[in-house]
Amino acid sequence: MVSAVTVAEVRGLVADVPDPEIPVLTIADLGVLRDIRVHTGGRIEVDITPTYSGCPAMDAIRTDVLNRLRGAGFDDAEVRLVLAPAWTTDDMSEAGRRKLVDYGIAPPTGRASVTGPVALALAVRCPQCGSVDTRELSRFGSTACKSLWACTTCREPFDYFKVL
């Protein structure tokens, strides 16, 4: 049995598990790592929240978190899928947003938590050249949480992580 561990130590073990769909982001960057509890006796519970209902990456994330914990000697661990509060792009870290740009994906613009009319992205800053002379090619990109855009200036296509 592993000696007593703190929530911070467990977070240190699992926070950098990569997102399987966008491996430059960690589950902490993405904001899907919600809560960690360490119980008397060493039982560990980790809560994760999907980016959208039915996200296929959640099974892989659960497995990766469990493997990370078991590899560190924590066999009594559970990863729970928590649906409330629902994930939004507001949960992404600023570091995660910067990583998206460096990876060639335009990060979400605006805030999902704003009430009122739904904001439409009329232009998105190109992560390659920085131009806002861009246009949407398809509302859906390589994953459901992204749309496909193209830059008129540098002529490069790119994904845009939608505000959700």
- How do beta strands 105-106 and 77-81 pair? unpaired
pLDDT at 1: 47
pLDDT tens-digit readout, 112-142: 665 666 566 678 999 999 999 999 999 888 8
Quote the domain boundaries for residue 108: 93-161
Out of 43-57, 64-78, 116-130, least confident range: 116-130
The tally of domains found in the chain comes to: 2
Pair 38, 69 in one domain: yes
pTM of the model: 0.82
Domain boundary among 34, 50, 81: 81
Pair 20, 72 in one domain: yes
Domain boundary among 81, 113, 131: 81
**Cα angle for residues 60, 65, 66 (degrees, 5° grid):** 100
Pair 25, 45 in one domain: yes
